[in-house]
Amino acid sequence: MVDEKISLRLLMIEDNPDDEALIIRSIRKGGFDVEHLRVENRAQLIEALRQQDWDIVLSDYQMPEFNGLNALRTVKERSPDLPFIIVSGTIGEELAVEAMRSGAQDYLMKDNLARLVPAIRRELNDADERRALRLARQTLRHQAYHDILTGLPNRWLLRDRLEQVFAFSRRQHTRPTVMFLDLDRFKNLNDTLGHLLGDQLLRAVADRLREVIAEQDTLARLGGDDFVLLFSDVPDREAALALARRIQARFAQPFRLDGKEIYLDASIGIARYPENGSEPDILIKHAESAMYFAKERGGNSIQFSSDEIQAAAANRFNIENDLRCAIRNDQLEVHYQPQIDLRSGAITGVEALVRWPHPHEGMIAPDRFIPIAEESGLILSLGHWVLQRAMADAVRFKDAGCLPRRLAVNLSARQLYHQETLAAFQDLLAGSPLEERFLEIELTESGVMQNPEQAVANLSALRDLGVSVAIDDFGTGYSSLAYLKRFPIDILKIDRSFVRDLALDQDDEAIIRTIIAMAETLNMRVIAEGIETREQLERLERLGCQEGQGYYFARPLPCAELIRFLQDRACA
């Protein structure tokens, strides 16, 4: 029986041809089919490593032109996984240990080659494992510094780069500039599209942003739709502004995904080194809060960081934190404002309005915290909390014998588009003893117009559950008859601004008349908001408005007070 020979590509670093022959002979005897090359200095070694792949290196220690440790270093730099065994006549214990520490796999004495063949066999096996391990480590390291979704640098790598760019700036007086970019309405889109398409969209955005980045600059993704661009040297604000405009221009063309055209805008906040901060995290944070200000101006805008913005951002941060606690600890309240039939004076429904009694700042108005809740995503849990509380309170109205016909709850656009909202309504309504059409949701025009197709689908699904749909603040947005027809809408709420100047402004009267006529054609009910005076009430009645709410009748009331209010009216 003939043993299968194992082929071995051996690179030998050795100055003595006699030793070479001796070593090769004992390897052949050990069952290897050896193909080998002998080199004796660094240049030859580098050339040999460059020319072909080797299975193992055997190296002498002391040579006229070279020594084993240098050879080891040269090999490990170029082929880190290649096994390296020292075979020497002279090496002492100390040097051997040092060689092992520097990455040699083993060392043997030339006068005792008995261990050579077993050592080679072992190293050939181990080399495969070492290679796999090294690749795994490399991947880990890459993952630690990169965002998996887009492959872009993450926050950690961005910090490193900022440190470098700052250090360079201190020597060369360059002007590093950080831009924080956030996609307007992306969170809604992501809730709507689902995360798979949302991820695709983010990758497409990353690709477009890569095009504006030069080699010395950095594009990073911090998570979600937050991208940061670090420009190593932007001479002045004008140049920074021009750059930011160029970035926004990358969004002029729609993104094509899954057969859909998606239009995205980007808001950009800009912070400059050193005047806006000389620490990486601070500069990023300042660019981020400038971005929030840009967003508040309606999106697609650009904002430089400033002291006022920093102060406002700190305040906003506190509110967000306190609000998160308040929701978790049930510290919010819901008040109810009655809605009245203008002709009979009967109560037709109530609108639920959230209230926040802050432990230090007193009652905080929804206008101050709802926008922050929207931006931070807290609106989803807040909205759900309000809905649950309102439905629970409705049971209390019922038990007190004064259940109004309808309960209206405000729904943010993010709730409307969120995939879990429908199921939440289903659960809530399934467990409720209240009548069909009892629950009503109020949405703004701009909310439904963010994604009309999806809005129609989601509103129809909610309506199938027995929920009525009202358009809030009506008249301030698009208000075209054409779009109204396409939506499943039951109620229009005339915005307070038209009611306010009713006595003074002829135009407002004309608008209200038109809204009422439109509603009649489309079979919708109309509620006027913000009625404060008898005069406003009478004019609205004359214009044919059926229902209204406002301080004239009642302010929003805590649950117990509302029950008293309802009971008094019922007796009257």
Residue for token digits 């054609």? Answer: 521
Whether the Cβ atoms of residue 512 and residue 530 lie closer than 8 Å to each other: no
Chain centroid to Cα 542, Å, comes to 51
Q: Distance (Å, rounded) from C-alpha 473 to C-alpha 476? A: 6
Site for Ca ion in 397-436 (CB under 5 A): 410
| Token pair 């913005």: residue | 309
Report the residue number, 68 or 447, with the smaller CB distance to ligand C2E: 447
β-pair partners for 335:
353, 558
Please report where in the chains the tokens 């010395």 appear, as a residue. Answer: 216
Least distance (Å) from ligand C2E to the CB of residue 456?
Answer: 20
At closest approach, how far in Å is the CB of 317 from ligand C2E? 21
CA–CA distance, 62 with 90 (Å, rounded to integer):
7
Quick one: which of 474, 550, 559, 562 contacts ligand C2E (CB under 6 A)? 550
451 vs 549 by CB, closer to ligand C2E: 549
Site for ligand C2E in 494-523 (CB under 6 A): 496
Q: Which of 198, 383, 404, 475 touches ligand C2E (CB under 6 A)?
A: 383
Which 402-431 residues touch ligand C2E, going by CB under 6 A?
A: 410, 412
Which stretch in 15-23, 52-60, 360-368, 460-468 sits in contact with ligand C2E by CB under 6 A?
A: 360-368
Binding residues with ligand C2E: total (CB under 6 A):
22
Q: Helix, strand, or coil here: 48?
A: helix
Of 15, 375, 532, 541, which one interacts with ligand C2E (CB under 6 A)? 532
CA distance 386 to 384: 5
* x/- track of binding to ligand C2E for residues 462-491 (CB under 6 A): ----------xx------------------
The one among 556, 557, 559, 565 contacting ligand C2E by CB under 6 A:
556
Strands 406-410 and 362-364: unpaired
Q: Any bridge partners for residue 407, and if so which? A: 350, 439
Residue 482 CA to residue 449 CA, distance in Å, equals 13
At its nearest, how many Å lie between Ca ion and the CB of residue 470?
8
Ramachandran bin of 474, using left for φ above 0, alpha for ψ from -120 to 50, beta for the remaining angles: beta
DSSP element (H, E) containing 46: helix 42-51
On whether the CB atoms of residues 539 and 504 are closer than 8 A, the answer is no
Q: Is residue 366 near ligand C2E by the rule CB under 6 A?
A: yes
Instruction: List the single partner that 263 binds among Ca ion, ligand C2E, none, CB under 5 to 8 Å by kind.
Output: none
With CB atoms as reference, the residue minimizing the distance to Ca ion is: 442
Q: Does 374 interact with Ca ion (rule: CB under 5 A)?
A: no
**With CB under 6 A as the contact rule, which of the stretches 15-23, 279-287, 453-461, 524-532 interacts with ligand C2E?**
524-532
User: Closest Cα partner for 123 from 220, 8, 276, 295?
Assistant: 8
Q: How far is the CB of 351 from Ca ion (least distance, A)?
A: 6
Sort strands 468-474 and 491-494 into parallel, antiparallel or unpaired: parallel
Is residue 472 near Ca ion by the rule CB under 5 A? yes
- Is 353 among the residues that bind ligand C2E (CB under 6 A)? yes
The smaller minimum CB distance to ligand C2E, of residues 327 and 386, is found at 386
**Residue 280 CA: distances (Å) to CA of 153, 202, 259:** 15, 24, 40
* Among candidate residues 193, 281, 176, the one with its CA nearest the CA of residue 231: 176
For the chain, give percent helix, strand, coil, nearest 5.
Answer: 50, 20, 30
Decide whether 313 or 470 has the Cβ nearer to Ca ion.
Answer: 470
Residue 442 as a binder of Ca ion (CB under 5 A): the answer is yes
- Given the rule CB under 6 A, which of 23-31, 251-259, 293-301, 545-553 is the region that contacts ligand C2E? 545-553
Tell me: does residue 365 bind ligand C2E (CB under 6 A): yes
State which H helix or E strand residue 525 sits in: strand 525-528
As a whole number of angstroms, the distance between CA 351 and CA 357 comes to: 19
State the Cα–Cα distance between residues 198 and 191, nearest whole angstrom: 8
Q: How far is the CB of 530 from Ca ion (least distance, A)?
A: 8
Half-sphere exposure (CA, 13 Å, Cβ side) for 280?
17
**Given the complex with ligand C2E, which of 198 and 550 has the nearer CB atom?**
550
269 binds, among ligand C2E, Ca ion, none (CB under 5 to 8 A by kind): none
Q: Which does residue 386 touch among ligand C2E, Ca ion, none (CB within 5 to 8 A, set by kind)?
A: ligand C2E
Given Ca ion, ligand C2E, none, residue 106, with its beta carbon under 5 to 8 Å by kind, binds none
Q: Does 367 bind ligand C2E (CB under 6 A)?
A: yes
How many chain residues touch Ca ion (CB under 5 A)?
5
In the complex, what is the shortest distance from the CB of residue 316 to ligand C2E, in angstroms, rounded to a whole number? 17
CB 499 within 8 A of CB 470: no
For 52-84, the DSSP string reads S--SEEEE-SEETTEEHHHHHHHHHHH-TTS-E
Tell me which amino acid residue 354 is: V
Per CB under 6 A, does 370 bind ligand C2E?
A: yes
Question: Which partner in Ca ion, ligand C2E, none is near 366 (CB below 5 to 8 A by kind)?
Answer: ligand C2E
By beta-carbon proximity to Ca ion, the closer residue of 232 and 337 is: 337
Stretch that binds ligand C2E, among 121-129, 167-175, 362-370, 445-453 (CB under 6 A): 362-370
Nearer to ligand C2E, 198 or 530 (CB): 530
The sign one gets for the Cα dihedral 391, 396, 398, 402 is: negative
Q: Where are the alpha helices (DSSP H) in 358-418?
A: 366-376, 378-399, 413-417
Binding site for ligand C2E (CB under 6 A): 337, 353-354, 365-367, 370, 383, 386, 410, 412, 442, 472-473, 496, 530-532, 549-551, 556
Q: Which residues lie near Ca ion (CB under 5 A)?
A: 410, 442, 472-473, 529
